[in-house]
Amino acid sequence: MRFRIARLLFMVAPLLLTGCDSAPGPAAPSAPTSFLAGTWQGTLTIQVNPGIPDPGPATTGATTWTFEVVPQTNLQTFKATIRSEHVWLPITTIASTAIIPGNTPPAQISTQGDYSSPRGCRGTFGSFGTAEATRIDADFNGVDCTVTFTGHVTLTKP
């Protein structure tokens, strides 16, 4: 009889121990997300040389901005990947974006960056405007080689 009990325990014990090892552990907390994170699409309107007489008409092109939260910044600082299909400014670049006064909409949004110009120099740009939950409206300014430009970017998030 003792032999049967010992044998039963010998067969059941590994099953009990295996069951303990396969139980899922506590889930790691998910990282907080921002309303700004993700891909936004819209238009970029540019006026080249706005300070000269008869600068010509402003032109508009498609643009896509993708925002990624920079860790440990209270969801207020982002890496922005910007792709412009504008005929005068066909670029893809990485920029820095910040929102204030907090990390919820509506917020003021500021983006700065530089890029390799199709005209053979290093261009710089900045934008400042308002970010709502699904819409961004911002002024857009820059210098490309010796040419200045101003404009506006409007983005929406699906």
Q: How confident is the model at residue 29 (pLDDT cuts 50, 70, 90)?
A: low
Using alpha carbons only, give the angle 100, 106, 110 rounded to the nearest 5 degrees.
40
- Higher pLDDT among residues 12 and 105, named by residue: 105
d(CA 135, CA 65): 12
Phi/psi at 49 (nearest 5 deg)?
A: 50, 60
The upper half-sphere exposure of residue 130, i.e. CA atoms within 13 Å in the direction of its Cβ, equals: 5
Please state, for a pLDDT cut of 70, what percent of the chain lies above it: 80
Q: How confident is the model at residue 16 (pLDDT cuts 50, 70, 90)?
A: very low
Q: How confident is the model at residue 158 (pLDDT cuts 50, 70, 90)?
A: confident
Task: Please say if the pLDDT value at position 31 is more than 90.
Answer: no
Task: Please say if the pLDDT value at position 73 is more than 90.
Answer: yes
Q: How confident is the model at residue 27 (pLDDT cuts 50, 70, 90)?
A: low
Architecture of the domain defined by 38-156: Beta Barrel (2.40)
Residue 18: predicted pLDDT: 45
Residue 66: predicted pLDDT: 98
Domain residue ranges in the chain = 38-156
What secondary structure letter does DSSP report for 133? S
Residue-by-residue DSSP string for 83-117:
EE--SS---EEEEEEEEES-SSSSEEEEEEEEEE-
Span 74-110, pLDDT tens digits: 999 999 999 999 999 999 999 999 999 999 999 999 9
Write down the pTM of the prediction.
0.80
Span 109-138, pLDDT tens digits: 999 999 999 999 999 999 999 999 999 999
